[in-house]
């Protein structure tokens, strides 16, 4: 949360634009950065995106995993689940932040903004990840905390799991995911996997 919202605040401040309340900024998370910034300042969108990404590159320490993330992903991997991360964030920071958080080893595939022409809610990034994982969509689940995540999964007929602990909070339920989790540690049970502890 801090990693993304602070970058938005920095980009807007640097270019002399009004800084929106964090609740408003959070509503835009999950959309492509160029679309977000074009909506706020069409002529300066590219510069705003660069300011955003440069800030993140210089402040990787702000990206932190949710409590219980590593233990939860380990349970899924031990149960034979292959994992892919699909993000609209730039490859400049997406892989490195997962590495710093100790989560990168759990993912067989990481799809970032540069990897497909279209971003979520278009299903193209999910199709790329599924293809690289060798998993058919009917056997996969999309777990996400924004409507763009849920809509991308729904477009492919995937099981969708809304994470209320993320950016959208309880509002994610309005987009009708198949299941809801309120803590990442609930994910194994949502996939029918019993926690070994």
Q: Are 181 and 163 a contacting pair, CB within 8 Å?
A: yes
Q: Are 167 and 160 a contacting pair, CB within 8 Å?
A: no
Q: pLDDT tens string for the chain (197 positions)?
A: 899 999 999 999 999 999 999 999 988 998 889 999 999 999 999 999 999 999 999 999 999 999 999 999 999 999 999 999 999 999 989 999 999 999 999 999 999 999 999 999 999 999 999 999 999 999 999 999 999 999 999 999 999 999 999 988 999 999 999 999 999 999 999 999 986 55
Rg of the Cα atoms in the chain: 17
The three-point CA angle 148-106-134 to 5° equals: 70
DSSP tag of 162: E
Say whether 41 sits in a helix, a strand or coil. coil
What pTM does this model have? Answer: 0.89
Q: Are 130 and 137 a contacting pair, CB within 8 Å?
A: yes
76-82: long-range contacts at Cβ-Cβ below 8 A with a sequence spacing of 24 or more? 76/106, 76/187, 76/188, 76/191, 76/193, 77/106, 78/196, 79/188, 79/191, 79/193, 81/191, 81/193, 82/108, 82/133, 82/135
């Amino acid at each position: 949360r801090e990693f993304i919202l602070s970058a938005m605040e920095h980009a807007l401040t640097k270019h002399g634009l009004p800084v929106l309340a964090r609740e408003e900024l959070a509503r835009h998370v999950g959309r492509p950065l160029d679309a977000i910034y074009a909506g706020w300042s069409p002529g300066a969108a590219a510069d705003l995106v660069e300011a955003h990404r440069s800030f993140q590159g210089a402040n990787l320490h702000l990206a932190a995993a949710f409590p219980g993330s590593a233990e939860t992903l380990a349970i899924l991997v031990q149960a034979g689940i292959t994992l892919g991360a699909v993000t609209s964030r730039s490859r400049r920071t997406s892989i490195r932040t997962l590495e710093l958080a100790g989560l990168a080893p759990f993912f067989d595939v990481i799809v970032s903004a540069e990897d497909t022409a279209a971003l979520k809610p278009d299903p193209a990034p999910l199709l790329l990840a599924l293809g690289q994982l060798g998993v058919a969509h009917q056997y996969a689940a999309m777990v996400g905390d924004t409507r763009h995540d849920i809509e991308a999964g729904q477009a492919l007929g995937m099981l969708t799991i809304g994470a209320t602990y993320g950016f959208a909070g309880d509002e994610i339920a309005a987009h009708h995911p198949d299941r809801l989790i309120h803590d990442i540690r609930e994910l194994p049970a949502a996939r029918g996997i019993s926690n070994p502890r």
